[in-house]
Amino acid sequence: MLSGLKEKMRSKKLSFIVLAALFAFAALSAFSQGETFSDPNVEYTFSLPEAKWKMTAKPSATSPNVEYVYGDRGDGFLEVRKLSIAKGAIMTDVVQDEEQKVQFRPGFVAGKEENFQGKLKGAVYNFEYVNQGRTMSGRFYFLKANDTTVYILRFSGQKDALRSLRNQTDSIARTFGIKS
């Protein structure tokens, strides 16, 4: 009888520990979740995987651009830009036009263009450059909204910091979509 009582107490103690661990995990998950960006001044939306992304430029009726930083601008910076293209334009040509704008940065090293698929199809382009003696990198997502519109998600930051955020930059680009 005494051993049965000890076993019940041990079982209750274990249940309490498991329950406390579940509550702690749920609380951490809720706090570590990001947010969904949506604004009445723009026709797009996307999800931020972590709350550390802070908006630094809010879109307005005159400027539909939005900007975010990940903690510090050197760790990660995001600009969203809308680009009008000619009907029937090839995505590789759009990427090359944007590459021409960044190729004169000091220490520029071109990367490769890859296909990308999320809510919108497109391409991603990587490159490196030097800024104030630091090796920086850029990862630009070109997401085609329709025949005449491409959104560019321009991520930049210190090379190692941006590389460690790649799963987040991919996540943001995958969730980028046009409001219905």
- The yes-or-no verdict on residue 57 having pLDDT over 60 is yes
Is residue 74 domain-shared with residue 150, that is, in the same domain?
Answer: yes
- The yes-or-no verdict on residue 27 having pLDDT over 50 is no
Per-residue pLDDT band at 162 (split at 50, 70, 90): very high
Is residue 41 domain-shared with residue 122, that is, in the same domain?
Answer: yes
User: Angle CA(22)–CA(28)–CA(33) in degrees, nearest 5?
Assistant: 125
Is residue 84 domain-shared with residue 139, that is, in the same domain?
Answer: yes
Q: Which residue has the higher pLDDT, 50 or 3?
A: 50
- Position 33 scores a pLDDT of 57
CATH of the domain at 109: 3.40.1000.10
Q: Which domain holds residue 170?
A: 33-178
Is residue 88 domain-shared with residue 135, that is, in the same domain?
Answer: yes
Please tell me the pTM assigned to this model: 0.80
Q: Which residue has the higher pLDDT, 16 or 104?
A: 104
Is residue 43 domain-shared with residue 1, that is, in the same domain?
Answer: no
Q: For residue range 80-99, list pLDDT tens digits in order.
A: 999 999 999 999 999 999 99
Is residue 96 domain-shared with residue 7, that is, in the same domain?
Answer: no
Is residue 54 domain-shared with residue 107, that is, in the same domain?
Answer: yes
Averaged pLDDT, 31-55: 89
Q: Which residue has the higher pLDDT, 165 or 13?
A: 165
- The yes-or-no verdict on residue 121 having pLDDT over 80 is yes
Is residue 13 domain-shared with residue 46, that is, in the same domain?
Answer: no
- Position 56 scores a pLDDT of 96
- Position 34 scores a pLDDT of 76
- Position 64 scores a pLDDT of 86
Per-residue pLDDT band at 2 (split at 50, 70, 90): low
- Position 6 scores a pLDDT of 60
- Taking the C-alpha atoms of residue 37 and residue 57, their distance in angstroms, rounded to an integer, is 12
Which residue is it, tokens 């998950």?
Answer: 29
69, 173, 175: which is closest to 124 by C-alpha?
Answer: 173
How many domains is the chain built from? 2
- Position 180 scores a pLDDT of 83
122, 94, 93, 96: which is closest to 110 by C-alpha?
Answer: 96
- Position 16 scores a pLDDT of 43
Is residue 61 domain-shared with residue 133, that is, in the same domain?
Answer: yes
Is residue 10 domain-shared with residue 72, that is, in the same domain?
Answer: no
- Position 10 scores a pLDDT of 61
Is residue 39 domain-shared with residue 122, that is, in the same domain?
Answer: yes
Is residue 171 domain-shared with residue 145, that is, in the same domain?
Answer: yes
